[in-house]
Structure formats: structure tokens, C-alpha cells
Amino acid sequence: MSEQGERVRSILESMSLQEKVGQMLLIGFHGTEAAGDIEALIQQYPIGGVIYFARNVESPEQVQQLSEGLQSIASASNHTPLWVSIDQEGGMVSRITEGIALMPGQMAIAAAGSQDDAYQAAYISGIELRSMGINMNFAPVLDVNNNAANPVIGVRSFGENADIVADYGVRAVAGYQNAGVVATAKHFPGHGDTDTDSHLDLPIIHHDRERMNRVELVPFRSAIAAGVDAVMSAHIYFPALESERLPVTLSRSVLHGLLREKFGYEGMIVTDCMEMDAIAVHYGTVEAAVMAVEAGADLVLISHTPRLQIEAYEALISAVQQGRISEARINESVMRLLMYKSKHGLLDSRMNADNRSEDVNLSPVQLDMPALDAGTERNSLLHQAVAQRISERSITLVRDQIGMLPLKMQRTLVITVASSVTSAVDEQLSETSTLGAVLSRYGLEVIDLYANVENVSNSSASMLQAAREQEVEQIIVGTYNAGSPSGESQCRLIEALQQIGKPLAVVALRSPYDLLALPNVKVYVAAYESRPLAMNSVAQALLGRIPFQGNSPVSIE
């Protein structure tokens, strides 16, 4: 055993059962300060780590202070330093959006067409997360999104082609881990071909093993071969992989038999949140936490409820004491978790770049820019420039059958359907900028109208009246998941606007699949997201200030 292994083994042998079980729990909490309930919980329970959501975030400076505060509480309580984790995928699923170089999401990166972009985006995100004391990111998404009706993955994926998803995913893994942050390949063995959100129910995927080997499993095998630190399990039932009606998170056949034994994966296995309905409703969060450890999970994620977090901790201890789970099984996971904490410098209690393992390559050549400290002003400008370049290259002109683009500098009605929480993984965006407002800043004469997804039907009459009576020469509609069941009112509005006879373009501000619900639209642009950077990029492309360079990573024609 290596010197590092011997050191970790000695730490493991000095730990009580309670301390070891605590290492296997990752918890969420409410609040933006290291105080109150979370302070008391860390003091009392030797938990393995925490997860941040938007509810924990005000600014990068505040997040850094929060991370330092939580680590200080753990240290003062003589507990092992914490994993500090987050879902910072980029694009529409990002918990930190201000004061950083928020990167485009994965489908936008793939649309821009360069695997190096995946590396650069992940590397920049990683060093910015690291500067805030965050050492584990639940990204990249390696699901192959080949189902247009998928309600929860969509633009979070690199696309529908398994090999392309694998290639982009491996580069993203390298970017995060070269920045000193744990990369997490999710959602094993693949959440891309579902029409059910596992936050709301238990999806079932009936593909046979041959199909899964050919499609869903390809990116995960590549990430494992590339040395990804962590893999997150999906709350999905695959009959081809598990004879009992168990989601992957609770299946020993999948986590141990397939992932560990067949694929030879030696990194950390972390569950998706055990409070999601696919688990909580069918199995119960607390009992499922025990089942997940039995199945082979190393780190159990419980994101919201302190009572459930404490009960799961106590249930795992009881399971060992009663012989349901052997202490050797616990030791196996905790040894692995401590080895990775050692790799990332946490066992030295120093949260800085000097503690990365020797095999980490921080070559600035790979990034095509100087590898500067995250906090410098120059570095911030360089980071923003990378995000802008990727965003501008991602904007995709799918069709322009009437030669409407670039837009003429004429009076234009611009309708923006506002971003909305479409699944529990989303969090309501704070931005209220409309596409019309951005176009107006570039000199276009705009009538700027705005509606929430839920209120489009109520606003349609006034929007149609504006189109008929305001002497507009052209119409732009920014849709938001118009192809989903909740998007029918958007489709009806667009059909009615088409009847007016003015040139009309649709800009998909999230799902590029909106075109499938709007086959008669003659001008269609995919932006993949409605973050301010994407809104600026699509506005410039519509006006001809930059070329359309993107190519859709999914089939929509």
C-alpha cells in the first residue's frame, strides 16, 4: 500500500462507527451563513459533507465565507474536513450565477462544436468553485438525450449521439479535475431516454442490454477510463439490469455488479438526492439510505430535511449494529472517501491548489490562456471572454425559409416567454431581461412584451392585438419549452400570430425540440438557454452582428 494509503488506513482505524457512518452522508441545508441549524448539526454529527443550492448563495465572497465557516465548525468539532458540493452544470442548472463567469450549458457547448470548449468551460468553472471553497461538482451530465419528451435532462446533455457525449464528457471531467474539483459523471447508467422526471416519480427504461451497451453506457465507460472521481446513480429502474423493481440507486446488481465488478470502477459512488419522489414515495428516504449502502453507494445525498438526515444516520448505525450491514462494508466506502479527500488535500485541512495530487495537469496550454488565480481582475475578464465566445458560437439557425434574417431595422414586436421552473432540479431564475430589451439595446425599434409560461394563454389576446394594431413589420417570439405539455398555449399563440401574415421568427430559449411542436414555423433559431449571455448572443446573431455558427446536437428537423 502507498504511503498515502497507509496514512488513510490509520485514520480509518482510529474512527468510531459513528464517525465512519457520518462520512457517508452529504446533506443540504437552508441559510447563507455557517450558523444556526447547520452549525449545530455539524457539531453534533460527523457528516461527510454538504451541498449548496441557490438558497445558500448570495455572492462568491459570501459562498467563500460560508465554506470556510463550515470547515471551521468541522475542524473545531474534531471532525474530518467536509466535501462541499454543488450542482454547477452551467447554463440553466447553475446555483451560482452572479460574480462569476457563468458558462453556457452542455448542449450549447456541443452546439458550438469544440471539445476544447468543454474542457475550458469546466476548468474555469472548477477554479472559480475552488476559490469559493467548493471541492465537488455534480457535473458533467453524461446522459445521452435521445428523447424529445425528456422533462428533466434536455439541454443539460451534450446531445443525442453517445460517442459525442462521451468525447465532450471526458474533456469536461478533465477540466474539473485539473482545476482540483471532484467531477461527477451523472446519472448512471443514463437518464436521457425518459419521459418521467425522477424528482416526481420512478422512471422505467425498458431497453435491452445490447442497446444500453451501444448507447447509454458509452459515455460512462469513457469517463471511468478517464479516471472520473465520482459517479452519481440515477433513480431509474432498468429491468434489463435488475430483476427486482429497484431503481439503480438501490440495486446491488447495478452499483456493485455492473459498475464496480464489470466496469472496474474504483472511484466514489454518490446517490442522487434521496428525497426525490422516485425514492421517497416508493421506498422512504431513511430506509432507502440503508438500501443504497447495501447496494454499494459510498455517499448518500439528502438535500433538504434535517429530520431525515439524522434519521438516515441513525438507521445506518443501527443497520451495522444489528448485522444487516457489515462494518467491513462501511470500511470499504469510508476508505475510498478518505482516499479521495486525501487526493484533494482535505485531510491536510488546506483548501488550496498546492494540495492537488501530482498527476493533476494544470497546463495553461490546455486552457489556451494563462492559468491565473481565480480572484484576479484580469483572470475574470479572460473567463468571461471564454464564456462569451462559446455562447456566440452556439447560436443555431435551424431554418430561414423566407430570408428574414438578419432582421431589418424596422418596428418589431418581440414576445418573450419567461423562463420557468420545469423540474425540481431547476431553480427560479432571478433574471427578468427580455429578448426585446436586448434587441432594443442594439438599436432595433421594439414593442417588448413578456409573459410567464403559466400566463401565456391569459396574455395571448393582448399580444395578438399588439401584433395587429401596432404597425409592426416583423415578429419575434422567444419560446420556453413550447413542446412540453405545459407549452400548448405558446404553440397556439404562435399559430395565431402566423395568421396575421407578418414575417415571424421563433427563438427557442431552452429546448431546441420546440420546433417539433411548431412544424410550420418558417424561421427558427435555437439558443439552448435564456441566461443573459445567451440572450445577448442570440440578439446579435438575429441582427447580423455575429454569424450563426451553431449546429444542433439533437435531431429537430
Residue 354 confidence (pLDDT): 35
In the predicted structure, residue 355 carries a pLDDT above the cut 60: no
Question: Of the candidates 267, 266, 270, 233, which has an alpha carbon nearest to the alpha carbon of residue 249?
Answer: 233
pLDDT for the residue numbered 425: 58
Residue 368 pLDDT exceeds 50: no
Is 542's pLDDT higher than 60? yes
User: Which residues are designated catalytic?
Assistant: 199, 272
Least confident interval from 238-252, 317-331, 337-351: 337-351
Question: 288-292, 460-464, 472-476, 483-487: which has the minimum mean pLDDT?
Answer: 483-487
299 and 157 in a common domain = yes
Query: 24 or 452, which is more confident?
Result: 24
Is the same domain home to 451 and 528?
yes
- Mean pLDDT value across residues 225-233: 98
pLDDT of residue 2: 83
Q: Within this chain, do residues 266 and 344 fall inside the same structural domain, yes or no?
A: yes
Reduced 3-state DSSP string for 41-93: HHHHCCCCEEEECHHHCCCHHHHHHHHHHHHHHHHHCCCCCCEEEECEEECCE
Q: What are phi and psi of 418, to 5 degrees?
A: -70, 150
**Residue range 55-64: average pLDDT?**
97
Using DSSP's 3-state secondary structure scheme, residue 482 falls into coil
Does residue 389 fall inside a structural domain?
no
Cell of 145: 438525450
Query: Which CATH number goes with the domain that contains 333?
Result: 3.20.20.300
Which residue, of 352, 367, 382, is where some domain finishes? 367
The pLDDT, as a whole number, for residue 372 is 44
Q: CB under 8 Å to 106, separation ≥6 — which residues?
A: 89, 90, 91, 118, 140, 141, 155, 156, 157, 158, 168, 172
Nearest to 504 by CA among 523, 482, 485: 523
CA nearest to 370, candidates 383, 351, 361:
383
Q: Report the chain's mean pLDDT, rounded to a whole number.
A: 91
Residue 28, H or E segment: strand 25-28
Distance, in Å, from the CA atom of 290 to the CA atom of 274, rounded to the nearest integer, reads 11
Q: Which structural domain range is residue 453 located in?
A: 395-542
347 located within any domain: yes
CA distance 452 to 467: 19
The pLDDT value recorded for residue 163 is: 98
* Predicted local distance difference test score (pLDDT) of residue 353: 35
**pTM of the entire structure?**
0.93
Q: What is the pLDDT of residue 104?
A: 98
pLDDT tens track for 123-137:
999 999 999 999 999
How many structural domains are present in the chain?
A: 2
The Cα 52–Cα 97 span in angstroms is: 13
pLDDT digits (tens, 9 = 90+) for 420-451: 655 555 554 545 589 999 999 999 999 999 99
pLDDT for 184-209, tens place per residue?
999 999 988 776 665 666 788 889 99
